[in-house]
Structure 1
Amino acid sequence: MTLSTDQLWSAMAEEARTFGGNEPVLASFYHANILNHDNFAAALSFHIAAKLGCDSVPAMLIRDVFHQAFERDPGIVEAAVADICAHYDRDPACDHYGMPFLYFKGFQAIQAYRIAHWLWGEGRQAMALFLQNRIATVFDVDIHPAATVGSGVMVDHATGLVIGETAVVGNNVSMLHSVTLGGCGSGSGPRHPTIGDGVLIATGAKILGNILVGEGAKIAAGSVVLESVPPHSTVAGVPAKVVGRPSEAVPALDMDQHINGSD
């Protein structure tokens, strides 16, 4: 279920008050990152910028860049809300809305990427590449700023995720750690995969080249995908072959890792 920005912010603030009261050691942490801010966008910019700041580019300057992006493209904040709801709905370990915001580096890396992507579109490639490097250093997630990523995306654990320059990721996609959306060839045209809506990409899958993974498809763990994948099919192996069909129309939502559903 996707909440509005105001609904999500109210839920996060109530959680922060409760958890801060129950664990006084963390009261200042919840205050600094959630309760001290007027809205979700302000808290998001503060929290992610604090992680990305460094000696040469302090968090305060990075936060200013986030504010510019949020003001000029409100869709960035809307996508962040959808991403939190995706984690809450799909990850059984996520039992409150503030958890992805505060603790999940997959969520945090995607939000930082969104700012880098906005900068890239604004012609500010130097700043975008700086953020790409900081995201890779801090979160161990490497997403080229020119890549296109939809909303409602859940990246679980996230360590080792790589998304190349011309990759396209649709809406409501779920992927796990060590996934690579890699390139093939050295030309200037598209050379990375396009991932359709609702796709589930399991741990360690490598999807390489200018190929299409159709909507509602499932990529099994450890697969190496070198050819386009039909919609609503399951592929597995090295190289990956079609081995069945997901049991649900949108496998990204139920996160079932079996080859042919739960049977």
Structure 2
Amino acid sequence: MAKLEIVSPVTGSPRDVWASLRCAAEDAARDEPQLASQLNSVILSHDDLSGALSFQIARKLGDSELGAMTVREVALAAMQADPSIVRSAEADLLAVEERDPAIRSMLQPFLYFKGYQALQSWRVAHWLWEQGRDTLAFHFQSRISELFQVDIHPAAKIGSGVFVDHGTGIVIGETAVVGDEVSMLHAVTLGGTGAERGDRHPKIGRGVLLGAGAKVLGNIQIGDYAKVASGSVVLKPVPSGCTVAGVPARLVNCPTEAAPARTMDHTLADVVYDYVI
């Protein structure tokens, strides 16, 4: 697969994500010789991001029922058939680098952060679902849930440049849609409101920030660049660019800041409008 370059959200310039990741791995292997073997097998022995990412997914998801070699073959097939999987993985890495002050380089999310790893594994499961291979897609979903405590239905739709911080307790339902550039923290639920079938899950717009423990329930639209405060329960649509908070959620600031998912600003405005949506 040809090397891909995408634009950094910070500088607006082309960024070779694979080269940056390799450089970070080389530095780490030099600084921590005890990890050199792992870094070589996961990253430095590969020619491109698809090779490294498929290896990483395989070493995580492989088990006695579906061996790592088979998982890697499936992941590579998905990435070769749909190059957008790798482009999204690159954009997601850049999103973590931009929005998570805890990291030192792209190496940490790629190797250690379960939010990033769960999302990339899900992208393979989603490809399987789109190919009509629902049983294997569900197997991937089950392994992702067991390993990372992130439960995303393979039929859900998720954009690129998405930041899943911490990951623990994330639940995203079958008909949910998550737009580009979204950030979400742990214990976010994008769920339904009952046992109804059909289109029953939230539609999250571009650049939305979903705080820790936020519950967005039902087939409702969360507008672009909206912000859902931590612990909120959202049962009605949220206008673009607005902030909601509470149980049930109320509008507390509208409009809010221009790009909440990128700034990761979870604070609320001093002036609270406090009317039910």
Distance 1:48 1:6 in 2: 23
CA contact (8 A) 2:226 2:256 kept: no
* Candidates 96, 101, 108, aligned match of 2:110: 101
**Deviation, structure 1 residue 183:** 1.0
CA contact (8 A) 2:159 2:180 kept: yes
* Partner deviation per Cα, 1:1-34 (whole Å, 9 max, x = no partner): 2599981111111111111111111111111111
Paired residue for 1:45, among 44, 47, 54? 54
Mapped contact 1:235–1:243 kept (Cα < 8 A): yes
Q: 1:180 aligns with which of 162, 185, 189?
A: 189
- The separation in 2 between residues aligned to 1:96 and 1:149, in whole angstroms, is 24
CA contact (8 A) 2:242 2:256 kept: no
- Structure 2 regions of 5+ residues with no counterpart? 1-7, 271-277
Which of residues 50, 55, 66 in structure 2 aligns to 1:57?
66
Residues 24-77 of structure 1, C-alpha deviations (whole Å, 9 max, x = no match): 111111111110111111000001111001111101001000111011100000
CA distance in 2 between partners of 1:6 and 1:36 (Å):
21
Q: How far 1:180 sits from its partner (Å)? A: 0.2
The 1-side partners of 2:31 and 2:83 are apart by 34
Query: Structure 2 length normalisation: TM-score?
Result: 0.91
Contact 2:184 2:210 in 1 (8 A): yes
Question: Residue 111 in 1 paired to residue 120 in 2?
Answer: yes
What secondary structure, in the 3-state scheme, does the structure 2 residue paired with 1:203 have? coil
* 1:159 and 2:137 correspond: no
Query: Does structure 2 conserve the Cα–Cα contact (< 8 Å) formed by 1:5 and 1:78?
Result: no
8 Å CA contact 1:155–1:174 kept in 2: the answer is yes
> How far apart are 1:187 and its partner, in Å?
3.1
* CA drift at 1:236: 0.3
The yes-or-no answer on 1:26 pairing with 2:12 is no
Render the CA deviation track for 1:150-170: whole Å, top value 9, x for unaligned. 000000001000000000000
Could you give the per-residue CA deviations for residues 160-203 of structure 1, whole angstroms, max 9, x where no partner exists? 00000000000000000000000123333210000000000000
Give the alignment partner of residue 80 of structure 2, picking from 68, 71, 80. Answer: 71
Mapped to 1, the partners of 2:81 and 2:33 lie a distance apart of: 38
2:203 to 191, 194, 202: 194
Residue matched to 2:234: 225
Alignment match, 1:251? 260
Amino acid at match of 2:71: I
Aligned to 1:35: 44
Q: What is aligned with 1:130? A: 139
Q: Is the 8 A contact 1:246 1:260 kept in 2?
A: no
Question: Compared with structure 1, are the counterparts of its residues 11 and 207 closer, same or farther at alpha carbon in structure 2 (3 Å cutoff)?
Answer: same
Contact 1:105/1:157 (<8 A) preserved: yes
In the TM superposition, residue 245 of structure 1 has moved relative to its aligned partner by 3.4
Write the distance in 1 (CA, Å) between the matches of 2:255 and 2:261.
10
Structure 1: gaps of 5 or more residues: none
1:92-115 CA-partner distances (Å, limit 9, x unpaired): 112211211111100000001111
2:221 aligned with 1:212: yes
Report what 2:95 is aligned to.
Answer: 86
Q: Distance in 1 between matches of 2:240 and 2:176?
A: 18
What RMSD in Å do the two structures reach over aligned CA positions? 1.5
TM-score by length of 1: 0.96
- Distance (Å, rounded) in 1 between the aligned partners of 2:72 and 2:167: 23
Aligned equivalents of 1:161, 1:133: Cα separation in 2? 13
